[in-house]
Structure 1
Amino acid sequence: TSAYRKSFFNPKNYVAHGVSLASARAGNVIGGGDWATDRLIPDCIRAILNGEKIIIRNPKAIRPWQHVLEALSGYLTLAEKLYGDGSKYAEAWNLGPNDEDAKPVEWIVKELCEKWGESASYEIDKGEHPHEAHYLKLDCSKAKTELGWHPRWSLEKAIDSIVEWTRAFADKRDDREVCLRQIEEYSKSN
């Protein structure tokens, strides 16, 4: 993206082309309603709803987990800045969680099971697995200082919201209403 931006939409030539192009990378986005395969939270939710034990492969792997509303908030903040003073913000940005929310897979799964209660449980698959990076993190200091963006929800709060949404879905309640309430709650948080 950087080379493309510099070749065709160079911020130094903003007056000539009037286009502000930026790229933003979010962390591992989680949230209620995600049913993708081969992703930790959706795989856990499927197992729980099917009454199965959650199987985890890499319990010590750490990822930059963040609620989907965090990523959306960052994208919207960046879009607002691009619209207002595009050439100043036309670059690459990282949007991720605070350092204290860098938790391993097993912590996530244990927290999810505890919050779900009932029969939610997990076990570690000790078999052979493809290599995965052990620790992934995003440095979001630039977004915090230059965009004024910062994560609002802790990882624990993100998991609470996933459990709330999934229970509403499982109980055939209005999951849209849960989404709107969570968006409002997120918007009011600091």
Structure 2
Amino acid sequence: MFSEQYQGKKILVTGHTGFKGSWLTAWLLKLGAKVCGISDQIPTTPSMFEELGLDQKIEHHFCDIRNFEGVSTILKKFEPDYVFHLAAQPIVSVSYTDPLDTISTNVMGTAVLLEALKQWNQKCNVVVITSDKCYENVEWVWGYKETDHLGGKDIYSGSKGAAEVIIHAYYHSFFTSNKNNIKLATGRAGNVIGGGDWAKDRIVVDCIKNWADEKSVDIRSPKATRPWQHVLEPLSGYLTLGSQLDKNTKLLGESFNFGPKAEQSRTVLELLTDLSNQWDFLSAEDAYRVTDNIPFHEAGLLKLNCDKALFYLNWEANLSYKECVEMVGDWYYSFYKTEKNMYEMTLDQISKYEKLAMERGLVWSQK
């Protein structure tokens, strides 16, 4: 799976020290790729990047994504075959306390990478990752399509919508006939959960941290419904998209949604109940308690229509809701309650994901 496309190839991952960036880096290493990472810091403590020892396995750079000279220098020295751009300010609550940093990181950081690519003269496939929050959420019950209106009621959503507008403008201004060595597309996903996430103000993270200390957790929106997906689902989509950019010109400059199966949608309360079952609580009341403290606007429902990814990429989600929850719970339980090597644990979960996709005959997994 993917080894033909990525084995021995040079892959630049921005935001490689983050949650999704660490999982993507581990998967690329498993595929035999040579990985270079750009990130401004280790974003959390604990850190999946540190726990997996990834700094010893890749070419690792601390560099602010808004630093044009730094990004450009790394790009030209490493000469990647592929770029996956994940560097961002990813936390909605932080966008309220520091809106300017959120906007400059998510919008100008993306523009800096695109400008560095524009001034580079090598062939490269580029997947820029934004978010499902780039859509203006009117809380309808059907999934958002790639052609729906961009924007949002909060700074984070606005920054992701703005990033998509900048990507679209850069593609049509510089990466079509005048710069066709750069093959560019964007990926959108959200409600991503998985082992190794310790970012602030995320419900699964808050629960795991409290449960590890044998404490209950406050939940503020128990009825909020989300289409939860394991981190490997969108990553498989990004890898599929990157691998096909050379082969299909219809993908160039396009955006693609990557989301879970329709049956994945569950309330926060349902998710936490299922996760808590893996932590030996005597009752759900010992695991969490409901509060009404909602400090900022939260959307009630936002899900994606992934028909475009199925039609053009033959991509579809792999895991059931039960499998997703089990993988999340198993990773964290192993981290907090066992002496397992977490790099090996992570590779084992990737192998399990790959095996399930191939056994189920998912087209993207056969290539």
TM-score by length of 2: 0.48
Corresponding residue of 2:38: none
Indicate which of 342, 351, 356 corresponds to 1:175: 342
Across the aligned residues of Structure 1 and Structure 2, the Cα RMSD in angstroms comes to 1.6
**CA deviation after TM superposition for structure 1 residue 97, in Å:** 0.8
Distance 1:187 1:109 in 2: 26
Corresponding residue of 2:321: 155
Are the aligned partners of 1:27 and 1:97 in contact in 2 as well (CA < 8 Å)?
Answer: no
Indicate which of 143, 167, 170 corresponds to 1:4: 170
Task: Write the letter of the residue equivalent to 1:189.
Answer: L
Corresponding residue of 1:135: 301
**CA deviation after TM superposition for structure 1 residue 150, in Å:** 0.8
Distance 1:162 1:124 in 2: 22
Indicate which of 59, 66, 72 corresponds to 2:222: 59
Indicate which of 176, 187, 190 corresponds to 2:354: 187
Aligned residues with identical type, % of pairs = 40
Are the aligned partners of 1:57 and 1:129 in contact in 2 as well (CA < 8 Å)?
Answer: no
Corresponding residue of 1:96: 259
Corresponding residue of 1:69: 232
Are the aligned partners of 2:221 and 2:294 in contact in 1 as well (CA < 8 Å)?
Answer: no
Distance 2:261 2:313 in 1: 15
SS in 2 for 1:22: strand
| Mean CA deviation greater in 24-33 or 73-82 | 24-33
Runs of 4+ in 1 over 6 A off after TM superposition: none
Alignment partner of 1:30 is 2:30: no
Are the aligned partners of 1:27 and 1:96 in contact in 2 as well (CA < 8 Å)?
Answer: yes
1:127/1:68 Cα in 2 relative to 1: closer, same or farther (>3 Å)?
A: closer
1:128/1:162 Cα in 2 relative to 1: closer, same or farther (>3 Å)?
A: closer
Corresponding residue of 1:81: 244
Distance 1:181 1:127 in 2: 39
Distance 1:156 1:4 in 2: 41
Distance 1:52 1:29 in 2: 24
Are the aligned partners of 1:26 and 1:96 in contact in 2 as well (CA < 8 Å)?
Answer: yes
Alignment partner of 1:46 is 2:213: no
Are the aligned partners of 1:2 and 1:92 in contact in 2 as well (CA < 8 Å)?
Answer: no
Distance 1:128 1:141 in 2: 34
- Per-residue CA deviation, residues 137-161 of structure 1 (Å, 9 max, x unaligned), is 1111111121111111122211111
TM-score by length of 1: 0.91
- Per-residue CA deviation, residues 103-157 of structure 1 (Å, 9 max, x unaligned), is 1111111111123223551111123542211001111111112111111112221
SS in 1 for 2:304: coil
Q: Which segments of 5 or more consecutive residues in structure 2 lack a partner in the other structure?
A: 1-166, 358-367
- Per-residue CA deviation, residues 22-69 of structure 1 (Å, 9 max, x unaligned), is 010112211111111111111110011011112111111122321111
1 or 2 for the larger relative contact order (CA 8 Å, sep ≥6)?
1
Report how many aligned residue pairs link the two structures: 186
